Structure 1
């Protein structure tokens, strides 16, 4: 009789688990354990599973240890690990893998968990998990290691990343294009251009073909540090390898010319690329307009601005802040400024849009600072008063005020007006 009762309880518990009725299962488990104990490994597995899904992973691990001490070996299902990952409970999944002997976790499960841990900043746990997988006889591949490289580089741990990189081939794992790209990106970002170039050459020697993204990293790095000549050499190499430049490639080189103050070459480069069907991104257009204005070449700046305001990618970006102000939109406001020839006021607005979407990109260099116009403190109070009523004004009033501030040399005051206008756009 007791045996049949025990079987009934077991079937009820199993039914609840299959129906995901975790909240209802605890009283039944308690009654069952009091009467019949944990005599079957299958029941222990069920209870451990229930505890994990109810966020009691530490209790589950203690139970696993106690069952092991009583020679009740659990066959723990890997789908619980996957469920925890899907729920975003990465640390719980990590604890369970490390604390329990789970035999049916394969390289895919390990790789996914390593990737997620690395991405969320738990790089120490990701590294420990890889070491554990190797000890358990799971053969990791380059995909798993790429996640580690990405996590290490994101945290600035370049020494650790390259130690791991140097050990790859000793374990018969060969770096991929993604491996090299991640490490080259990190070196360029930290300013180690010579090391990045050497790694790039090492990649070529291994017959791994660099993609446009890797060329972009190097081109952008050389441009930021003023070596436009080397950037152009890489650009020529990119084309010789039958690779297509993208908007970032074009914009990086324009930025390099801009920092050198060589806007003539920047404009020629822009026109040549346009003839070949390539355009810069928002920042590339912005630096062209800014550079032309700094040289007093306002009509050419106006021509570039017209091109910019017809570019689909630029319009899509502007439209992200393009809520209506009265009857005028930000895009329409810029078009009107362009048509009326007030390029400086349009540039102020574009600068503010750029700072909204690219706050950490291409930090201002000493050369760039020399291209800006100093603000006039005498007009500061006037612009502050104006900001408090800007939401009530139409295009002509806003335009007139910005034009006045720009003509007085108070670019900061005009920028404050632009900030208020754009902020008003986003909030309306």
Structure 2
């Protein structure tokens, strides 16, 4: 009878555990252990599971040690590694593995890779490397996937020296770098301004017959354009075809930005036309660089044409829909079309710049030397102060749009632009 009762109690505990009903689980555990003791090793494992779920990793480790000393061979469930990492608790998983040492369950390369990736994403690079060393000590052969997580973590923290030391040691561990490995390192070098070093690494990659991907080409093209070597960027762009790769919107925008930095808007415009003829168009920023550069050169009619092309692009329209959604308005696109019809290109550009700053705050929104704000646009930026925004927030779209239309019909385009700018700026402060 006692054995049957203990089994029923045990099944109830399992049910609570599966339902994560910890409120009932704790007193039930206490009652069960008081009556029957740890009659099954699986009960000890369940209790370890419970302690880990309660963030009591130290308690779980003490229990594992105590149970093992009393001939109850218990360790934590392997799936706990992935679960803790998915919950943003890779440090707890690390403590569990390193604390259990010889009492850990049988973990394979996937389990270790999940833990390493979680630690790297949370910034615990040293501990990720500790896990790599521990895995090798346990006889587990790590793959390039595991090391790619470490490379990504090191590069995110700008630890390039350490990243390349690890890269040089891969051959000693019989690990062949992948395109992801090279891409991570090339991207980091470009980001830090070491474009020539990035290009040398790219050439080594080609020699080793590792096929580059579009992301790698984009990193190099963007790097060359940012540092004023559009000619080399174009060579890389055309070389993409030799690797059966096609440019993306980012690729096109990077080259347009490069020409804009040089102030060579004729070349930027021709490149845009050529790429469109081949079925490739820029993203929002690429269109913005082009419009901005043309307006800075006084080529307002061409700027208007580009804005019209821009408002036909699906990716741009999706971005404008996001603006509408965040502002709870009907259509920024409609207002931009209206400004183009009125010939208010500089005012349309002011709004596009604000949208760019809203969605791409870390991008090159204001760094182009080809764009210099006019006196009127600088004045518009000072018209609406932050103190005035609460009253604008209380206006619905119909009222705002009606006011904009009225201002435009009266010829007060500065006032209309200032109102639109205030609404957009206000949405970012909510």
Q: Could you tell me the TM-score, scaled by structure 1's length? A: 0.87
Work out whether residues 387 and 417 of structure 1, in 8 Å CA contact, stay in contact via their aligned partners in 2: no
Which secondary structure state, in structure 2, belongs to the residue aligned with residue 367 of structure 1?
A: coil
1:71–1:381 Cα change, 3 Å: closer
Gaps of 5+ in 1: 406-412
- 1:18-417, aligned counterparts within 5 Å? 18-20=15-17, 21-34=21-34, 37-38=37-38, 41-100=41-100, 101-323=103-325, 329-362=331-364, 364-365=366-367, 367-368=369-370, 371-374=372-375, 383-384=384-385, 391=395, 392-393=399-400, 394=402, 395-399=404-408, 404-405=413-414, 417=419
Superposed displacement of residue 90, structure 1: 2.5
Secondary structure, in 3 states, of the residue corresponding to 1:111? helix
Q: Retained in 2: the 8 A contact 1:16–1:25?
A: yes
Provide the rounded CA distance (Å) in 1 between the counterparts of 2:42 and 2:388: 74
Change (3 A) 1:142 1:386: closer
- Structure 1 residues 267 and 68: alpha-carbon distance in aligned structure 2, compared to 1, 3 A threshold: same
Q: Which of the numbers 14, 17, 21 marks the counterpart of 2:14?
A: 17
Query: CA 1:419–1:240 in 2, change beyond 3 Å: closer, same or farther?
Result: same
For residues 277-332 of structure 1, the C-alpha deviation after alignment (integer angstroms, 9 at most, x for no partner) is: 11000000001111110111111111111100111110110111125999962110
Supply the distance in 2 between the matched residues of 1:278 and 1:378 (Cα, whole angstroms): 37
Q: Point out the more displaced range, 136-145 or 99-108.
A: 99-108
Please identify, of 196-205 and 382-391, the stretch whose mean Cα deviation from structure 2 is larger: 382-391
Aligned residues: 417
Q: Residue 323 of structure 1 contacts residue 329 of structure 1 at CA under 8 Å; is this kept in 2?
A: no
- Could you tell me how far apart the structure 1 residues matched to 2:191 and 2:165 are? 19
CA offset at residue 144 of structure 1? 1.0
Deviation of the 1:399 alpha carbon: 3.7
Asked if 2 retains the 8 angstrom alpha-carbon contact of 1:141 and 1:173, the reply is yes
Q: Taking structure 2 as the reference length, what is the TM-score of the superposition?
A: 0.87
What is the CA distance between 1:82 and its match in structure 2?
3.5
Query: Per the alignment, do residues 403 and 309 of structure 1 end up closer, same or farther by CA in structure 2, a change over 3 Å counting?
Result: farther
Distance 1:136 1:87, change over 3 A: same
The 3-state SS of whatever aligns with 2:158 is coil
Question: Measured at CA, do residues 139 and 269 of structure 1 come closer, stay the same or move farther in structure 2, by a change above 3 Å?
Answer: same
- Give the gaps of 5 or more residues in structure 2: none
Q: Are the counterparts in 2 of residues 220 and 252 from structure 1 also a CA contact under 8 Å?
A: yes
1: CA distance between counterparts of 2:231 and 2:247?
Answer: 17
2:139 partner SS: coil
Find the residue that maps to 1:74 and give its secondary structure: coil
Conserved 8 A contact 2:48-2:63: yes
CA drift of 1:416 comes to 5.1
User: 2:369 aligns to what SS in structure 1?
Assistant: helix
CA distance change for structure 1 residues 171 and 313 in 2, over 3 Å: closer, same or farther? same
Could you say if the C-alpha distance between residues 336 and 328 of structure 1 is closer, same or farther in structure 2, counting changes exceeding 3 Å? farther
How far, CA to CA, are the matches of 2:409 and 2:350 in structure 1? 14
65-74 or 145-154, which moves further after superposition? 65-74
Q: CA deviation at 1:251?
A: 0.4
Q: In structure 1, how many angstroms separate the alpha carbons of the residues matched to 2:250 and 2:286?
A: 8
SS in 2 for 1:359: coil
Q: Where does residue 408 of structure 1 map in the other structure?
A: none
Instruction: Report the secondary structure of 1:210's partner residue.
Output: coil
With over 3 angstroms needed to count, the CA separation of the structure-2 counterparts of 1:275 and 1:135, relative to structure 1, is: same
Does the residue aligned with 1:65 lie in a helix, a strand or coil? helix
Q: 1:209 Cα deviation (Å)? A: 0.9
